[in-house]
Every structure is written in C-alpha cells, then in structure tokens.
C-alpha cells in the first residue's frame, strides 16, 4: 500500500472556503479527504473513519483546535496519527501550546497548498514507517540502516538516554563527542531551529509525544534535515516515565521538495515566477480578504 493509494486526511476548519481549497489540493495529490466544520464533528468522524492524518485549524468556535488535538491523542487510535495544525497565529506561545497538546507539526497561514500536499505525503510516509517498526521490532536495526533512521530511549526522571549507533550518524558525530543528556542534542541543532526543538523536548519531559522536522549541523559545517518522532514508551518500574524516539535523515526529500517547488512555480529558462505562482498567491490573497 502506497500513501497515494489509500491515505485519508481529515480536514477540520470552520471556514468552508479553506476546507474546499485544502480538499481540492489534497485530492489533486491522490489523497482521500474527509471534512469537518467544527471540533465535535471532527471527533465523531475520527472515531468512525480512523483517518491516516488530521489537518486541524486552531481557531474554531466551540472546541478549539488545541482541545481537539488533545482529545484525539487521548483516544486509543489517536496516539500515532499525525496531526498538523494550521493557524494564523505564529507567536511562540501558540507553537508551544500546539506541541504541548500533541501536534505533529504547526503551519502558519496563509497556506501554500501545493507544498502542503507534498509535506503531508512525507509525514504520512514517516508515520507508516513508524507503524511498521512498531509491528516488527526485530527488524529495527536493519530498518534503521536502510532508512537512515536512528532511535533512542529517554529515562526522564534520571535524564538518562540510550541512543542507537545510527542516531549518532545522523549528526555526523561519534557517541563520545555528542553529549550524554537529552538536552545535548540542542548543541547540534541549527540555531534558528533550537527553540522549536527545545519546546518539543520540554513537552516530552511531561510525557507528550511529538513529530518535528528540524535541521542539524555536522562538524564539517554541512546542514542536514531530520524528522524526529517521539512517543511515550512502557513505564519503567524503577526509572518511571520513558520516552521513545526515532530520527530520520530526510535531507534528500527536502531537496527534492525544493526542486519540485522551483519547477512548479518558476520558469526553467528565465527563473521568473510563472502563472501557477501568480494563481496561488492570488488565491491566498483572496482567502485573507474573506477572513
């Protein structure tokens, strides 16, 4: 089963025009969409349809997106489902709150629907990998090597971390130079991305999982992109809360996205914006005027 064949995305937004634009963009990418106009309907549809991903607006009447996300994570089938939150709010407190309630990713409006479509496909692919690894832990070591996927366990109370060898390779670092505690990873994160990673780790310290894309800097100065997924593990009898995480090098996918964007929105001869670029920006401006 590939992502494009059967993945279902639940689009939750009180604005019908936004739902329409999101659904059309996702359908063009081969995804199946379900629509909900408020939080109550979203929870009901999630229980009945069990979508593969939720695209969730923050500002809605009744239940806010934050409340819906929190309730989805508490459901038996909602622990690993990617939840991408869309909002016009881009302040640090809103980002922090989104990760605190379990959001996978946080995207500010206005939304570039074409790029969002590719972003969702990558998130779905990562989630699918995580589910397969959960079902078959015996193949974890081989899967990590093939997928450039590292893993770790964090014993929160002791602030003790056990990382796989492949995890250190994602940072171009030997274990001896990486650092022992969980916060050591921040020293290797690209400086502009450190607040997001620090906020996600702060939520993980309280047992809140996350899925986050950020950049890391290798010792030679090169920059790589990592997708990290974290979930609570089985509690340890002596150590208490245990968080389990995986990190995957997705630099090639990100570079491919940039090339796709260049081909989609810019003339390959002149390098100037093309008609599609103008259409996307005009639609975005129209949506902002109607809000």
User: Which CATH number applies to 3-132?
Assistant: 3.40.50.2300
The residue whose two tokens read 């379990």 is 102
pLDDT tens per residue across span 247-287 = 999 888 877 766 776 666 777 777 777 776 677 777 777 76
Query: In which band, very low, low, confident or very high, does the pLDDT at 240 lie, cut at 50, 70 and 90?
Result: confident
Task: Report the pLDDT averaged over residues 13-37.
Answer: 90
CA distances from 162 to 153, 249, 285 (A): 5, 19, 48
The residue whose two tokens read 């060898």 is 165
Max mean pLDDT among 118-127, 170-179, 272-281 falls in: 170-179
Q: What is the dihedral of CA 207, 211, 216, 218, to 10 degrees?
A: 80
Looking at domain 136-249, which of 3.90.550.10, 3.30.1300.10, 3.30.450.20, 3.40.120.10 is its CATH number?
3.30.450.20
pLDDT tens per residue across span 145-170 = 655 788 899 999 888 999 998 899 99
Separation between Cα atoms, residue 274 and residue 194, nearest integer Å: 35
Please state the pTM of the whole predicted model: 0.49
Q: Do domains 3-132 and 136-249 have the same CATH topology?
A: no
| pLDDT score of 97 | 86
The residue whose two tokens read 């996702």 is 26
> What are the residue ranges spanned by the domains of the chain?
3-132, 136-249
């Amino acid at each position: 089963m590939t992502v494009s064949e059967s993945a279902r995305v639940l689009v939750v937004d009180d604005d019908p025009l936004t739902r329409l634009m999101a659904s059309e963009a996702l359908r063009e990418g081969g995804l199946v969409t379900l629509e909900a106009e408020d939080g109550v309907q979203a929870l009901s549809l999630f229980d009945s349809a069990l979508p593969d991903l939720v695209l969730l607006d923050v500002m809605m009447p009744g239940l806010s997106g934050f409340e819906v996300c929190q309730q989805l994570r508490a459901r038996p089938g909602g622990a690993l489902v990617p939840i991408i939150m869309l909002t016009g709010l881009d302040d640090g407190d809103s980002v922090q709150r989104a990760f605190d309630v379990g959001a996978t990713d946080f995207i500010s409006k206005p939304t570039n629907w074409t790029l969002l479509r590719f972003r969702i496909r990558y998130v779905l692919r990562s989630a699918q990998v995580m589910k397969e690894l959960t079902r078959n832990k015996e193949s974890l070591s081989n899967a990590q090597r093939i997928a450039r996927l590292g893993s770790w366990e964090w014993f929160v109370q002791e602030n003790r971390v056990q990382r796989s060898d492949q995890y250190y390779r994602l940072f171009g670092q030997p274990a001896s130079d990486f650092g022992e505690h969980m916060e050591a990873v921040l020293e290797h994160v690209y400086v502009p991305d450190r607040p997001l990673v620090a906020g996600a780790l702060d939520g993980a310290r309280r047992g809140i999982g996350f899925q986050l894309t950020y950049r890391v800097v290798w010792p030679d100065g090169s920059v790589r992109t990592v997708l990290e997924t974290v979930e609570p593990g089985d509690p340890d009898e002596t150590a208490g809360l245990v968080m389990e995480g995986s990190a995957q090098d997705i630099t090639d996918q990100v570079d491919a996205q940039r090339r796709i964007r260049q081909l989609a929105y810019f003339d390959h001869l002149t390098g100037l914006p093309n008609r599609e670029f103008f259409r996307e920006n005009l639609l975005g401006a129209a949506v902002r005027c109607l809000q």
